[in-house]
Amino acid sequence: MTDSASLKPWKLCVLVIVLALLPRAAIALQPIPVQLDKMLPDDAYYYFLTAENILTGAGPSVDGLNMSNGWHPLWMLVNLGIFALPTSDPNTPIYLILLLGALLDSLVAGLLFLGVRRFLGNGPALIGGGFYAINHMVIFQSV
């Protein structure tokens, strides 16, 4: 068996990222009805609906009637870009956004690994990054 100290740091970082991405992607790819019932917060749909309304000319509104500004502009720009992609399935942009969120949060696990490794070494970095990667509370908040 290989000691974590003998593995290249980038390999360990990739391991932590993959460990984080697998459960997040599995959740992000669940059918939309399961997402709505079990995992997807209401706030996500505020972004989805507002992005659709902006792209159809109704302006920044959840319901198409009342203007709103209760969203983060950068994440809304991401949503707009994804919802602007041509697709025949209306759920495809939702899956893409959820997968992007899963990927971004998985990269956070890698950054955590690198930050801890810088000061404490591979072992503590694997524990910290690994804990973040598989912590169910973090997983459900990220997707």
Decide if 10 is inside a domain. no
Contact 60, 53 (CB under 8 A): yes
Q: Indicate whether 2 belongs to any domain.
A: no
Total domains, the chain: 1
Show the domain range for 107.
15-142
Mean pLDDT of the chain: 89
Two structure tokens written together for 123 = 């072992």
- Whether 137 is covered by a domain: the verdict is yes
In a domain, 110, yes or no: yes
Predicted local distance difference test score (pLDDT) of residue 44: 80
Say if residue 2's pLDDT is above 90.
no
On whether residue 46 sits in a domain, the answer given is yes
Asked if residue 121 belongs to a domain, the reply is: yes
Measure the CA–CA gap between 104 and 118, rounded to whole angstroms: 21
The answer as to whether 105 is a domain residue is yes
User: Tell me: the pLDDT tens digits for 21-49?
Assistant: 999 999 999 998 888 888 777 778 889 99
Torsion on CA atoms 95, 100, 103, 105, rounded to nearest 10: -110
86 falls within a domain? yes
Q: For residue 86, give the DSSP letter.
A: -
DSSP, res 87: -
Total residue length of the chain: 143
Q: Where does the pLDDT of residue 74 fall: very low under 50, low under 70, confident under 90, or very high at 90 and above?
A: very high
